[in-house]
């Protein structure tokens, strides 16, 4: 039970941190506050899975590598490869299974299906190094704190419950997007679609919906039809 709470806590810390980073990034790029990801709440599961992966990888015993420098190089290389694989598998599942593209690197050099590219693989390497040298000790302390305070399980459990509800709602919305995408034989780029909904709301002077940003004010299907008109999708 305690191990589950520790794992869940690390996952949610990573998911929330990633959400904040992506939120600020979109603010800098689009000059607007746009809810990132496909969930309604402040949670990006990819980042949560990433941080949890970093924690587990850095917690393994690498004493078989005696040199500290080469040990660090090895761990960071493993992190870079694993995170790139996780990013690729996640992106591929959504494209093939849900007809949705959560991110698009098609304009980046050396990209593979617009899902991964050398630039963001390098980013994972830098992030892995930052975690290995600076963040991991704090995550170990957090895991220890959670393990010593069983009452923390109530807070983590509440977060988990909200996360499951959000996941169910968001997958319902994505399922509707998938049906529309299959009917039109396209893959919907979520970030592009979300921005389209936001700009249309501003143009029509409608109230912006930050939390349920994929639904808009006119319903998912109507917003998708408007999005299709903008992109000349039949």
pLDDT in tens, 74-106: 999 999 999 999 999 999 999 999 999 999 999
The whole-number pLDDT of residue 213 equals 63
pLDDT in tens, 198-220: 787 777 766 656 666 666 556 78
Q: Give yes or no for a contact between 63 and 75, defined as CB atoms under 8 angstroms apart.
A: no
The whole-number pLDDT of residue 216 equals 56
pLDDT of residue 122 exceeding 80, the answer is yes
Which 3-state string (H, E, C) describes 40-99? CCCCCHHHHHHHHHHHHHHCCCCCCCCCHHHHHHHHHHHHHHHHHHHHHHHHHHHHHHHC
Q: Label residues 120-133 b or e (16+ Cβ within 10 Å = b).
A: bbeebbebbbebbe
Indicate the SS3 state at residue 189.
strand
pLDDT of residue 55 exceeding 80, the answer is yes
Q: pTM to 2 decimals? A: 0.87
Element (H, E) at 230: helix 220-231
Q: Using alpha carbons, list the distances in angstroms from residue 107 to 29, 217, 233.
A: 16, 31, 20
């Amino acid at each position: 039970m305690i191990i589950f709470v520790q794992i869940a806590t690390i996952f949610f810390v990573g998911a929330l941190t990633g959400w904040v980073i992506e939120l600020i990034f979109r603010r800098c790029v689009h000059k607007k506050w746009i809810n990132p990801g496909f969930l309604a709440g402040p949670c990006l599961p990819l980042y949560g899975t990433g941080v949890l992966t970093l924690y587990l990888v850095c917690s393994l015993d690498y004493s078989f590598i005696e040199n500290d420098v080469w040990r660090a190089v090895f761990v960071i290389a493993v992190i870079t490869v694993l995170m790139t694989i996780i990013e690729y598998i996640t992106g591929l599942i959504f494209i093939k299974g849900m007809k949705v593209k959560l991110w698009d690197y098609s304009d980046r050099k050396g990209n593979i299906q617009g899902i991964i590219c050398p630039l963001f693989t390098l980013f994972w390497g830098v992030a892995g190094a930052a975690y290995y040298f600076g963040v991991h000790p704090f995550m170990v302390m957090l895991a220890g704190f959670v393990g010593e305070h069983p009452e923390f399980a109530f807070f983590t459990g509440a977060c988990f419950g909200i996360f499951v509800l959000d996941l169910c709602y968001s997958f319902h919305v994505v399922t509707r997007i998938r049906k529309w995408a299959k009917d039109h034989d396209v893959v919907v780029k979520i970030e592009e679609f979300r921005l389209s909904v936001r700009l249309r709301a501003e143009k029509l002077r409608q109230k912006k919906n930050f939390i349920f940003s994929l639904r808009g004010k006119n319903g998912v299907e109507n917003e998708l039809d408007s999005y299709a008109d903008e992109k000349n999708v039949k």
